[in-house]
Amino acid sequence: MKRFTQFIIDFLRAGFTGGAMFWAWMLFLSFFIVLWGYGEYVQLRDGMIVTNLTDQVSWGLFLASFVFMVGVAAAAVTVVFPAYVYHHHELHKVVVLGEMLAIAAVVMCLLFVTAHMGRPDRLWHIFPVIGIFNWPNAMLTWDVIVLSGYLVLNLLGGFYFLYKKYSDRPLNKPFYLTVVFVAIVWALSIHTVTAFLINTMPARPMWFHSVMPIKFITTAFAAGPALIIIVFMLVRKFTPMKIADEALHMLSQIVTWCLGIALFLTLSEVVTELYPSTEHSFGLQYLMFGHNGLSGLVPFFWTAMALMLGSFLLLLIPRVRRNLAILPFLCIAVFVGIWIEKGMGLMLPGVIPTPIGEFTEYVPSSIELMIVTGVWAIGFFVLTVLIKGAVGVLLGEVRYQEKAAS
């Protein structure tokens, strides 16, 4: 226990060690975290009236961000799967960094849900024994189970690996590989269940189709690896850790083909909804073209399509895809495009119009923007600390022997 306690102390010390650029970055994030604290305080004090959510549009920016980040969390499997199933040597060296990203992403997911609840002090109602844990009847309960389980699996697998590396002890492979393979399957479950959360609503025709879970997985496996590539390239630039080009090339191929499948599914959805053009397509029509002067989402949709399609066409060219000077910008385009299309472009037209045909436009309030940007800042704050600590252990800069000797 003493050694593990020392590991946590040394890990955090490495995570909070850096130069002027590091502290400037952390202070920048801290500014938005303070805004998050203020926004949460105002929302708890005054209630959800400080948001622009209404009876007509009850799911807004909070849940749009949640749905997107669940996909980013699940996408850690794009590093773990090639490393342990296909024995990709270069990805195997950095697989734990993908698990650190998954931990930060799940933390963000839980914070987005907490913000959407409005009264998180009533969360005890869902706890077993003291509340009603409505399982297996409630799809929301399934989501709680799979997200909490995925967080535990990544904490267990990632920090077990790092602790053994820190202690210079061999892994218990049967135990560790069991955790890894369970986590691979579990990663698919968290985004599938999140898709089930919305596509089991027959009153919301834009969501009510069986392709939704597949679309969720493909967009997740495009946006997630895009972010991982950016993180890996930042690690290469600002730390002594060398991440091989082959690892980046493997991830860029995953981004390319999953993005292509996602675009194909989007096109199929457009044709299916708009060709007969019944009243069930009003949500998609509103998203793409507006409705009677209500066109707030139209620029978002076409911007997302331009970013996704443009980056996909460029990524199809091997010479461009393998150019590591261009690749980060394409990954940013993919990430932003999918965030718009999967967040604002999926959640909002799903509730607009309402089941009785009401069209009510929604624009996030300043409090909502404070909370959402603050949660993103918390996520990147946590990710920075986790990545720096993990890199220190992987490079051997953080070791128990050195501490004991001193």
* Whether the Cβ atoms of residue 230 and residue 328 lie closer than 8 Å to each other: yes
Q: What is the mean pLDDT of residues 324-339?
A: 95
Residues sharing a CB contact under 8 Å with residue 191, sequence separation 6 or more, in sequence order: 70, 71, 74, 213, 216, 217, 220
Q: Is 123 left (phi over 0), alpha (psi -120 to 50) or beta?
A: alpha
* Whether the Cβ atoms of residue 52 and residue 371 lie closer than 8 Å to each other: no
pLDDT tens for 28-54 read 999 999 999 999 999 999 999 999 999
Cα 265 to chain center, whole Å? 20
Distance between CA atoms of residues 372 and 83, nearest Å: 33
Distance between CA atoms of residues 150 and 183, nearest Å: 7
Mean pLDDT, all residues of the chain: 91
Give how far Cα 98 sits from Cα of 108, 223, 356, 387, Å.
16, 14, 44, 9
* Whether the Cβ atoms of residue 394 and residue 165 lie closer than 8 Å to each other: yes
Q: Model's pTM, two decimal places? A: 0.92
Beta-carbon neighbour count of residue 9 at 10 Å? 11
Beta-carbon neighbour count of residue 320 at 10 Å? 15
- What is the percent of the chain where pLDDT is above 90? 62
Going along the chain from its start, the domains and CATH numbers come out as 2-405 (1.20.1630.10)
pLDDT tens for 213-226 read 999 999 999 999 99
